């Protein structure tokens, strides 16, 4: 059953069996960290993160989808929720209810100032919440499902007004059946997946698993600076960007799903290197401290789900260890879609198909 669930969760990934020989196994233990009241549930985990105080935040798919019909637009909400827990995993509160950008949770990151950022592939938006839980910044424009309007106003074209063209410096954020949003240059995404920051506070968005296949860079106030990337297999091209990480030297690591590799760029987008050996990379987390490592989750392949694992990788691409397999039991993972590694020896792993967050203690 687990094989079926993971396959359904990763139809867009593709993949083939990867070689596992010669990679040391890392000893580890796990525990279910979240404690919720009987009437509060965690669904498919899009993202999990912990702030400097140990507070845990989970962005997940467990709400009630609905649509609000207007004269000219249909505003829809797919049902994602943002929960906060204390350091022990005790449920504290939900915030962000009815935020326009909550639709299909796919990621969550916490920046050095403890702001919480949600990434939503359905809304094609990245939302920043300050430490009080207030919306502080929104990147991207939510696509509009205008065509489902039952009664268009007199004189309107069938299905609503035409979609706006993609802005200069960006691409139409509503491709693949969604109307593109208009806005400032670079502001339209197509199913974004991740966000990261350099030392100056500039914002980088993985854009994403839709049609754009680019990395967009903004200043710390959210003003568009530049983008790079396109669809393909060459250096600097992508077939789905699922995760980002930025090291202490401002090198940008991008998980290239379809090409089964990690590409490395400088902060201006110049290609530096690439490496594979981590299967289908679905999420990355970069440790802190003097010697940084990447933890990379392999999504699992259709012909080898038992090979799903989390890899520990040096920044030069050398895989130094791995742990975990696919499944529903303890020490197994069901599409590990998010990793928090603020503490290098104690990770938080959010799972899509198992609807849980495991605390992983590495030996």
> Can you give the pLDDT at residue 296?
97
Residue with tokens 């139409």: 172
Average pLDDT taken over every residue of the chain: 83
Q: Residue 51 — φ and ψ, nearest 5°?
A: -90, -175
Find all residues with CB under 8 Å of 86, minimum gap 6, and list them. Answer: 54, 55, 56, 92
**CB neighbour class for 165 (10 Å; exposed up to 12, middle 13-18, buried from 19):** exposed
Place of tokens 């250096």: 235
Residue with tokens 């970069």: 286
Burial class (CB in 10 A: 0-12, 13-18, 19+), 252: buried
- The H or E element that residue 3 is part of is helix 2-9
Max mean pLDDT among 65-69, 165-169, 180-184, 334-338 falls in 334-338
Cα 22 from chain centroid? 30
Task: Answer yes or no: are the C-beta atoms of 178 and 146 closer than 8 Å.
Answer: no
Q: Is the pLDDT of residue 125 over 50?
A: yes
Better pLDDT: 127 or 300: 127
Q: Residues 205-226: pLDDT tens digits?
A: 999 999 999 999 999 999 999 9
pLDDT surpassing 90 at residue 127: yes
Radius of gyration (Cα) for the chain, nearest Å? 20
Q: What is the pLDDT of residues 18-59, one digit of tens each?
A: 444 589 999 999 999 999 999 999 999 999 999 999 999 999
Confidence of residue 142 (pLDDT cuts 50, 70, 90): confident
Cα(33)–Cα(45) distance, integer angstroms: 13
Q: What is the pLDDT of residue 101?
A: 81
Bond from prior residue into 208 cis (ω within 30 degrees of 0):
yes
Written as one string, the DSSP assignment of 193-231 is EEEEE-TT--EEEEE-SSS--EEEEE-TTS-EEEEE-EE
**Which pLDDT belongs to residue 152?**
43
* Interatomic CA distance for residues 61 and 64, integer angstroms: 9
pLDDT at 3 over 70: no
Q: Are 254 and 244 in contact (CB under 8 A)?
A: yes
Q: Is the pLDDT of residue 161 over 70?
A: no
pLDDT value for 243: 98
pTM: 0.82
Q: Which tokens is 18 given? A: 């990867």
Tell me which H or E stretch contains 2: helix 2-9
pLDDT of residue 302: 55
Mean pLDDT throughout 309-323? Answer: 96
Query: What's the N-to-C CA distance of the chain in angstroms?
Result: 30
Range with lowest mean pLDDT among 199-203, 252-256, 303-307: 303-307
Count of structural domains, the chain = 1
CA distance 173 to 259: 23
CATH of the domain at 10: 2.120.10.30
Domain encompassing residue 54 = 2-362
Neighbours of 134 (CB within 10 A): 10
In the three-class reduction of DSSP (H, G, I as helix; E, B as strand; rest coil), residue 305 is classed as helix
- Residue 185's pLDDT is 55
Question: 60 pLDDT band (50/70/90 cuts)?
Answer: very high
Sign of the CA dihedral with 173 first, then 125, 341, and 269 last: positive
Strands 325-326 and 332-333: parallel
Asked whether residue 151 carries a pLDDT value surpassing 70, the answer given is no
pLDDT of residue 306: 59
């Amino acid at each position: 059953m687990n094989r079926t669930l993971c396959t359904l969760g990763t139809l867009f990934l593709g993949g083939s069996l990867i070689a596992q020989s010669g990679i040391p196994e890392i000893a580890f233990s796990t525990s279910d960290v979240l404690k919720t009241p009987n009437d509060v549930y965690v669904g498919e985990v899009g993202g999990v993160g912990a702030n400097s105080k140990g507070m845990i935040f989970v962005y997940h798919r467990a709400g009630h989808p609905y649509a609000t019909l207007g004269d000219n637009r249909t505003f829809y909400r797919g049902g994602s929720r943002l929960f906060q827990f204390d350091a022990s995993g005790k449920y504290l509160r939900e915030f962000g209810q009815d935020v326009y950008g909550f639709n299909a949770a796919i990621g969550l990151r916490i920046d050095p100032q403890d702001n919480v950022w949600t990434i939503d592939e359905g809304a094609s938006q990245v939302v920043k919440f300050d430490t009080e839980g207030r919306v502080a910044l929104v990147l991207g424009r939510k696509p509009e499902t205008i065509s489902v309007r039952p009664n268009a106003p007199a004189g309107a074209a069938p299905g609503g007004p035409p979609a706006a063209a993609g802005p200069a410096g960006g691409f139409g954020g509503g491709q693949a059946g969604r109307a593109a949003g208009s806005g400032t240059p670079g502001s339209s995404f197509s199913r974004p997946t991740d966000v990261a920051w350099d030392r100056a506070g500039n914002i980088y968005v993985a854009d994403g698993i839709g049609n754009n296949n680019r990395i967009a860079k903004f200043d710390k106030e959210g003003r568009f600076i530049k983008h790079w990337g396109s669809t393909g297999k060459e250096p600097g091209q992508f077939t789905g960007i699922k995760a980002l990480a930025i090291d202490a030297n401002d090198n940008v690591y991008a998980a290239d799903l379809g090409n089964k590799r990690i590409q490395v760029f400088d902060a201006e987008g110049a290609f530096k290197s690439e490496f594979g050996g981590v299967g289908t990379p679905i999420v990355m987390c970069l440790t802190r401290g003097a010697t940084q490592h990447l933890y990379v989750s392999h999504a699992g392949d259709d012909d080898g789900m038992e090979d799903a694992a989390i890899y520990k990788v040096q920044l030069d691409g050398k895989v130094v260890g791995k742990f975990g397999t696919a499944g529903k039991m303890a020490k197994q993972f069901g599409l590990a879609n998010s990793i928090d590694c603020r503490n290098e020896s104690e990770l938080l792993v959010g799972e899509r198909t198992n609807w849980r967050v495991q605390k992983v203690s590495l030996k």
